[in-house]
Chains A and B, each alone.
Chain A
Amino acid sequence: MNEFMKLLLTMSVSGTLLLLLILGLIRLYKNKFSRRWQYYICLIAVLRFLIPFTPGTINVGRLLEGGLKGFHTADIMDKSPEMLDRNVTVNGNKEKQTYIYLFFVWSAMALALSVRKIRIYQGFIQCVKAGNVEVSDVRALNLLSGCEEKLNIKTGAGLYCNALIVSPIMIGYFRPSIVLPVRELGDQELPHIFMHELLHYKRRDMLYKWLVQLVVCIHWFNPFAYLLEKEVNKACELSCDEAVISMLDEPARREYGDMLISFLKPTNHCKDTLSFMTLSDGAEQLKERLGAIMDFREKTKGMRILMGVLALCIIFGAVFIGGYSDAPVTGLNSAVTGKSLIPEEQNPVVSTADENSGRASEPPIPEGKSRSMGTYIPNWENWDGDWDWDDKALMEAYAACGIEKNGKFYYYCGETVYILKNQRPDSSIYLINTEGTVSIKVNWNAEGEITGVSYIAKEEVEKLKPKLLGTS
């Protein structure tokens, strides 16, 4: 449960960071970048909010893991053995309860929000459908067909008029219908309305908007999710306007603007707080849209290249900012973030790696037939995360300097190993076996080669013992 909550939180944080970056760019280059770019770049933030994808080594998950420690010393392994000492289960239980509580609050809210949004939308569609009257005027239908041909849309959209709405809307995802308000609409206005609404359909804006609604439902606790919603809704209309006017000449652009103004009326009688695919919403935004129409210019080649490069940068940013890294998830047992690997159980001491992968109860894997494929050492950047006690390459490296493994026990010069310390220039990994008698230290260099094996002094063994056995 707590892993899930952390995942959610990290997704929220990385989505927010990306969104802020994008919004910063949009504010900076508002009139320089095409509206379409501004619209679709937000999609990257949307996906970042939604996809728990974690490739990189530097990611928010790690950073957050550090930050979270402040208030929950949960049952995860801490970074140093010193911290481990005060890491106790009493705290852990309380934390677990808090997480369960948080999880229920979150899911109840997310569920309630989604249900509410869907019901509002359904109600709106029903309200509109009830008032729909088919438009049989061949002139209007022909204008619509003409626009469909121009946009290369195969599906014929239905055409209705409705006394309950005041501004044209588009409903239906698979079988789209354009609904017009009941009033005189001239041959000049109609094609503009049709182009605008058909473009919404062609670009699948409905799907995009629902994705954003999903973000809001999941990240309801994050105020930036609402900012994203607002930004996408605005950018959607602006980019749709842009797409329409790019096909028009100067006087037609003015007509288009006139048409937008003519629909600036009080709200529809069908309540739709989601404001899907309406033609105009609010004077504030209309002003911006009209401004954009007046300012419309084809983008220069240089600008286009810049937009492309920036888009790529943002995509890479989105990938590398990551979500919740899986490393801390497994960190519970294998102390990935730490400098030492310590067996959790005291008595039947087997190698910790065996415990992690749940193979402790399995019969020992015969020598040389270990499951590892490929090489072991290469990932030194993240070596403690990848430390696999059963790796063939590791066995061979050990065997070369006289350490043998038989079953779950290690032997050095014929004696069972008590503490096995792998010492790297900046960190070390331990293994303890209470039935062992000798303690050894394997020195590794940064290149992943063993530089030597030596016995550990008695004092050091005494010092290590409590840490490794989890008693102080």
Chain B
Amino acid sequence: MAHKISESELVLMRIIWKNGGVALYSHIMGELVKDRNEWKNNTVLTLLSRLVGKKFLKVNKIGRRNEYVAVVTEAEYQAMQTHSFLDKVFGGNVKNLVSTLLRQDILSADELEEIESFWRKGHE
């Protein structure tokens, strides 16, 4: 999947994922209003149809209402993004990524240890 999701499209995807991967248009609009996003109807429709075009979403017509179904789960999307991020920024080198995380204090020593033990367990 070569297409990328833009930030505004991701907002919509998150709403759908949160709703269990399926959401009606009215539900999406409701959530947007709750988050104080003043998005106009056509704006949302344009973004949704782009997501459909990029095969991240599927549309089911229920009567006159549209139901949007996520084709890609949140985990799948995160995996995809991590890979592309790793490739782009760290040239695919996980060690560099981890050292950057540590240096920036995004990852604490404790957390690193936890990961290491998790990693070893996986290999035993």
Contacts and interface: CB of A to CB of B under 8 A. Distances in A.
B104 interface: no
Contacts of B39: 138, 141-142
Given A136-B6, A136-B7, A141 B46 contact: yes
B47 A136 contact: yes
Contacts of A158: 46
A148 B42 contact: yes
Nearest to A136: B6
A24 interface: no
Given A134-B50, A156-B45, A159-B46, A142 B38 contact: yes
Nearest to B46: A156
Interface residues of B, number: 16
Interface string B91-109: 0000000000000000000
A146 B43 CA distance: 9
- Looking at chain A's contact residues, the main secondary structure is helix
B43 A138 contact: yes
A136 B40 contact: no
Interface in B18-76: 37-43, 45-47, 49-50
A91 B50 CA distance: 68
A145 B47 contact: no
B42 to A, nearest CB: 4
Interface string B3-16: 00011110000000
A4 to B, nearest CB: 47
Interface string A345-366: 0000000000000000000000
A149 interface: yes
Contacts of B6: 134, 136
B5 to A, nearest CB: 9
Interface string A138-161: 100110111011000000101100
Given A136-B47, A156-B45, A158-B46, A146 B9 contact: no
B1 to A, nearest CB: 16
Contact of A142 (B43, B49, B50): B43
Nearest to B48: A156
A145 B43 contact: yes
Given A136-B6, A136-B8, A141 B50 contact: no
Interface in A117-151: 134, 136-138, 141-142, 144-146, 148-149
Contacts of A144: 42-43
A9 to B, nearest CB: 49
A158 B43 CA distance: 9
B54 to A, nearest CB: 9
Contacts of A156: 42, 45-46, 49
Interface of A: 134, 136-138, 141-142, 144-146, 148-149, 156, 158-159
5 contacts: A134-B50, A136-B6, A138-B8, A141-B42, A145-B43
